[in-house]
Amino acid sequence: MKRVEGSAGVALIECTSPVRNKWRIRWDIQKNGDGLVSYMEEEFDSKPTPENIEKSLFENDMDISKSELVKISELLGYNWSEFEMRFNDGYNTRLGANPYMQLMEVVREQHLTTTDISDAVALRVPATFFSFAELCKRGKQVAKGVVFRYGGKTWRVVQAHTPVDIYPPSFETAALYVKIESKHAGTIDDPIPYEQGMAFEQGKYYSQYGVVYICILTTETGYPNDLKDLPTIVTPV
């Protein structure tokens, strides 16, 4: 399982070799700029079943939304109720036979009611938190300060609410979630990795797509743009 860069419009499911029965499933498609996207991709040695997909996602500690699973189930020829039942049964079967999974389930339940975990601890032990998909599946209100996983990153709830999978952590939901990140000095040797929605501080260095920029204007809010499209705020070094 890996994150791959490709063209927009990539298929969620593809049989890459009918002769060898090789299949690929893709999800978490994100725009990278210049018409390119990145996405998670997993290859299977046969047409994947709900159990195969669940096992692969769990073993790689990956998150996937219900809406993405619904699309994948349809493309594989399943009705959603059958796919969901087999997906959940696969998890429960492995949970019952794996003491480590059982321990992690207990720890995650405890962390779901803990709101004062430091950023440093959260970054060290991301696997001990529930995924965003799991929070959505539960359909219950989550308190401010709770930590969770999404898109291979660690996040914190900034406003108590009930998560919905069509509104995942992003620039548009900055009022609900904040990403927990390692601290960077903002120097030319240690630039701040930029993401859309991030506010700027004059004199600090930011990086995106392998290019380093220096900020020439402080802002109080962020923008839904890449650094190359913000010439009045940053300039390439």
End of a domain among 46, 73, 97?
97
pLDDT of residue 40: 87
User: What are the φ and ψ backbone dihedral angles of 53, each rounded to 5 degrees?
Assistant: -65, -45
The whole-angstrom separation of Cα 134 and Cα 141 is 12
- pLDDT at residue 7 in the model: 83
Asked if the structure places residue 224 within a domain, the reply is yes
Are 87 and 133 in a shared domain?
Answer: no
> How many domains does the structure of the chain reveal?
3
Residue 231 belongs to domain with CATH number:
2.10.10
Q: Which of 63, 97, 131 is the last residue of a domain?
A: 97
The verdict on residue 22 lying in a domain is yes
8 Å CB contact between 66 and 136: yes
Instruction: Identify whether residues 73 and 8 lie together within a single domain.
Output: yes
Give the H or E element holding residue 226. none
| Residue 185 covered by a domain | no
Residue 77 lies in a domain: yes
Over residues 79-123, the pLDDT tens digits come to: 999 999 999 999 999 899 999 999 999 999 999 999 999 999 999
Same domain, 57 and 110: no
End-of-domain residue from the set 180, 210, 225? 180
Q: Which residue has the tokens 């204007």?
A: 217
Q: Are 67 and 166 spatial neighbours (Cβ–Cβ below 8 Å)?
A: yes
Residues 8 and 64 in one domain: yes
> Can you give the residue range of the structural domain that contains 143?
106-180
Provide the pairing of β-strand 234-236 with 211-215. Answer: antiparallel
Say if CB 37 and CB 10 are below 8 A apart.
yes
What pLDDT does 220 receive? 86
Tokens of 184: 């960077």
Quick check: is 187 in a domain? no
The answer to whether residue 62 scores a pLDDT higher than 80 is no
Residues contacting 143, CB < 8 A, separation 6+: 113, 115, 157, 160
Q: Are residues 85 and 19 in the same domain?
A: yes
pLDDT digits (tens, 9 = 90+) for 33-56: 667 888 889 999 999 999 999 998
Does the pLDDT of residue 60 top 80, yes or no?
no
